[in-house]
Amino acid sequence: MMKWYGDEEIGIFFDILPRVSMRYVLPTMTKTERESVERYPFINKKELKVALLDRKKSKKYTFTIQKGYCWDGIKKATSDSNGLATVSLAQNSTHTLTFKGNGVIERSVSVTAGTSDSKLNVPLVVFDADNNGIVNAKDFAVVNKEEKYAKSKQYFKNFINVEASSFEYK
Strands 126-128 and 103-112: antiparallel
Instruction: Give pLDDT tens digits for 19-38.
Output: 888 888 899 999 999 888 88
Residue 15 has pLDDT above 90, yes or no: yes
Average pLDDT, the chain: 77
Instruction: Give pLDDT tens digits for 82-128.
Output: 667 777 766 677 777 777 666 666 777 888 877 777 777 777 666 67
Computed from CA positions of residues 137, 84, 76, 112, in that sequence, does the dihedral angle turn out positive or negative? positive
Computed from CA positions of residues 125, 129, 130, 131, in that sequence, does the dihedral angle turn out positive or negative? positive
Residue 160 has pLDDT above 60, yes or no: no
Give percent above pLDDT 70 in the chain. 69
